[in-house]
Amino acid sequence: MPNALTGHLRVEANRDRCDGHGQCLLAAPTVFDVDEKANKVILLDPEPVEGLRAAVQRAVSMCPMGALEIVG
């Protein structure tokens, strides 16, 4: 559900669960990146615009570790 005031989603990443597979980066490269040294997800945009919902949902569903979530 988008934030009623801003029209943005809210995304959370559990870096403890992340193994750096990079599927999120492939699905939504403006929202996610991978820290190559730590092999962990980096949230470039924790509140992406609603127009990126499909890409973010794809990233969430593709994460093999279940480290990503759309909240609120």
44-66 pLDDT tens trace: 999 999 999 999 999 999 999 99
Residue 46 belongs to a domain: yes
Residue 4 belongs to a domain: no
Residue 51 belongs to a domain: yes
Looking at per-residue confidence, does 69 or 5 come out higher? 69
Residue 2 belongs to a domain: no
Looking at residue 28, its pLDDT comes to 98
Residue 62 belongs to a domain: yes
Q: Give the CATH number of the domain where residue 40 resides.
A: 3.30.70.20
Residue range of the domain that includes 34: 10-71
Chain segment 36-46, per-residue pLDDT in tens: 999 999 999 99
| DSSP structure string for 28-56 | -TTTEEEETTTTEEEES-SS-BGGGHHHH
Q: How confident is the model at residue 30 (pLDDT cuts 50, 70, 90)?
A: very high
Total of domains in the chain: 1
Q: What is the mean pLDDT of residues 2-24?
A: 87
Residue 1 belongs to a domain: no
- Measured at the CA of 33, the angle between CA 28 and CA 37, to 5 degrees, comes to 155
